[in-house]
Amino acid sequence: MINFVVNSIIIILFIDPINDIYIVEGNASWTEVTSPFATLTFIEDHPTPVRCIARGGSPPPEMELYLGASDYTRYFRYVTVPALSGLVGFRSLDMASMLVADDFRVEAQDDGKRLQCIAKVLGLKKVFSSTRIIVNCKN
């Protein structure tokens, strides 16, 4: 927790770590994802939805996505989504920050590379998820 005063108003900023981070393909709800994918399989030059999901984190994390050594962050849009979880009367507000691409494409030469997503909350260390991609060539 960080306290500071601005014009006689006390601002309290809670810094919370990221709980989980996953890279997924497809359109499953972020609340349905419970574990990272070991590999993702693509068809060469075929548009595929891909998301990097970071659960938790306050303030919302900065996120980056790499394919091999290349920064692909600019091809993804950043989204933050709130959701209630838990039983009625004991609910908590969870946040998910995501990098989303509805039409992610890879080439044959990308086969075997790692797709890595990195998330960082100010003042805390980075967390990451990494998965190997398999690229099937077009017929």
115, 133 Cβ separation under 8 angstroms = yes
Please tell me the distance from the alpha carbon of residue 14 to that of residue 28, in angstroms, as a whole number. 30
Please tell me the distance from the alpha carbon of residue 5 to that of residue 47, in angstroms, as a whole number. 49
99, 78 Cβ separation under 8 angstroms = yes
pLDDT of residue 25: 77
Mean pLDDT of 128-133: 90
- The domain containing residue 93 runs over which residues? 2-136
pLDDT of residue 42: 92
pLDDT of residue 7: 54
117, 52 Cβ separation under 8 angstroms = yes
- Find the CATH number of the domain harbouring 118: 2.60.40.10
If one counts the domains in the chain, the total is: 1
- What tens digit of pLDDT does each residue of 12-37 get? 555 677 777 778 877 666 556 655 66
Amino acid at 36: P
67-73: long-range contacts, CB 8 A cutoff, minimum separation 24: 67/106, 67/110, 67/113, 67/114, 67/115, 67/133, 68/110, 68/113, 68/114, 73/99
- What tens digit of pLDDT does each residue of 27-85 get? 666 556 655 667 888 999 999 999 988 888 888 899 999 999 999 999 999 999 886 77
